[in-house]
Amino acid sequence: MSTFALPATLLRRAARSLSALAAVLASVLAFLALVVLTDGAGSGLAAWLPVLAGGTALALWRSRSRSRGRGRTRVARLVPFLPVVVAAALTAPVCVPTVPTARQYPPDLPFVATEHWSLDTGSSVAVYHYPPAGPGPRHPVPLVYLNGGPVRGISLLDHRFLRLLAGQGYDVYAYEQPGGGRSGLLPMDQYTADRSVRDLGAFVDRLGGGAVDVLGFSSGAVVLTRALADPGTAARVHRAVIAEPGPMDGPTARTAGHQGRESARGLAPDPTGPRSTHVPRYAVAFGLMRLGLLSPGTGLIGQAEGDNAFTAADLGGDTASAYCAGDAHRIPVEDSARNFSFSPAASLRVQRTVRDSASIAPQLGRSRTPAMLMIAECSSQVRQWATAVLAADPAIQRTQFMPGVGHHMWNGLDGNNDRAAAVIGAFLQDQPAPLPNSPTREGIPAFLRDHE
């Protein structure tokens, strides 16, 4: 053999390998592009089948071209099909569910009964009632809790806080918004911020005892804020506690701003447990949805399947961002795997309806419902989300800046639950605030400067 023959042979083999690798990569990219263009129709098969057919046709053409040459074996003629087989094997898992496609609800909790209420809006919600307990006086006005998420089940950590409030004499009701926890699903296009407000009004009507106090946390605080801007729903609210709100409307959502003191994000150990995003199907679906390349109602995965697949570990650093940096290595377990429930698609859908909504500041400016705003020192929320509410709502009577806590203010650490309950209780009972009223409306510019 010539001294030049061996290098030439190696170069030809390397070129063929690179060509095969390029073919596989092109097929995978074509598949992902078609998933986006078809919005995942047919569980991804509307993208997978054309790519498989196109790749097979190209391989047939190349195989026939090779067969015209002399000395081509059958094995050699099958070589063009190898990239097709590899690409098909890589992309097929994206089209195959690995969890049940019908909604699998969490089991009932052992310490509180789960009731299921059908609201006049058509929503079916899971309801939890903690009657007043303890030796102290009973408070006559029921307290309704709106949890964060959006479209997330109420965590065990939150349930413990609700029991604490009940032990102080409050008649506490909580419900999981449609799609979250043990509540029924809605068609994807019905998950909107306005629907959440209507559900709140219908829930209070179902209680049947007149106006109620409402504690809204995070995205639940957004629902409450938007409810205060709606005269019909606001009339059902006796007093409102707006705790760590997200953006109340589109203009607020697009506001650049500052966060609070350093959170534990990036400092806390990575969450343990299985992740759906380690499975190709859900990594592609949730990733493309988060990037806005797939709609929340994508045909790639159904709403129920996505809810079943998503785990607490999939939240990643979001949980750590709700705690102060100093708490990074002692973050409590917020929930159990059996109780955890989060609907990523419905959550994105609700957030987008907030982001796309017009300003509610003019309507909120006419609110007369006594309200209190709670802001955490280590908040991961943009400060302007809270100060926008404070600036727009003239009925906010006090603001309580909570030192030493992150976004999840009642977290079971260092008496934080008791401190949060004391702040909430003082306002609901119209007693002096445990903390200074800060920031005030006039102090908003200085407050924001302190957090640049």
* pLDDT tens by residue, 41-83: 999 999 999 999 988 888 787 767 656 555 556 656 666 778 7
pTM of this prediction exceeds 0.85:
yes
Phi-psi region of 230 (alpha: psi -120 to 50; beta: other; left: phi over 0): beta
Cα(413)–Cα(406) distance, integer angstroms = 11
Phi-psi region of 376 (alpha: psi -120 to 50; beta: other; left: phi over 0): beta
What pLDDT is recorded for position 4?
A: 46
Per-residue confidence at 131, pLDDT binned at 50, 70, 90? very high
Structure tokens at 104: 């699998």
Structure tokens at 325: 């940096």
Mean pLDDT to the nearest integer, 252-276: 91
Per-residue confidence at 371, pLDDT binned at 50, 70, 90? very high
Structure tokens at 409: 């203010």
pLDDT in tens, 6-29: 465 544 555 555 677 888 898 899
What are φ and ψ of residue 204, in 5° steps?
-65, -40
DSSP strand pairing (212-217 vs 143-146)? parallel
Structure tokens at 364: 């909120």
* H/E element, 66: helix 45-67
What pLDDT is recorded for position 226?
A: 98
Q: What is the residue-averaged pLDDT of the chain?
A: 92
Residue with tokens 């988060």: 290
Residue from 394, 401, 349 nearest 375 by CA = 401
Residues in the chain, total: 452
What pLDDT is recorded for position 6?
A: 47
Mean pLDDT to the nearest integer, 241-259: 94
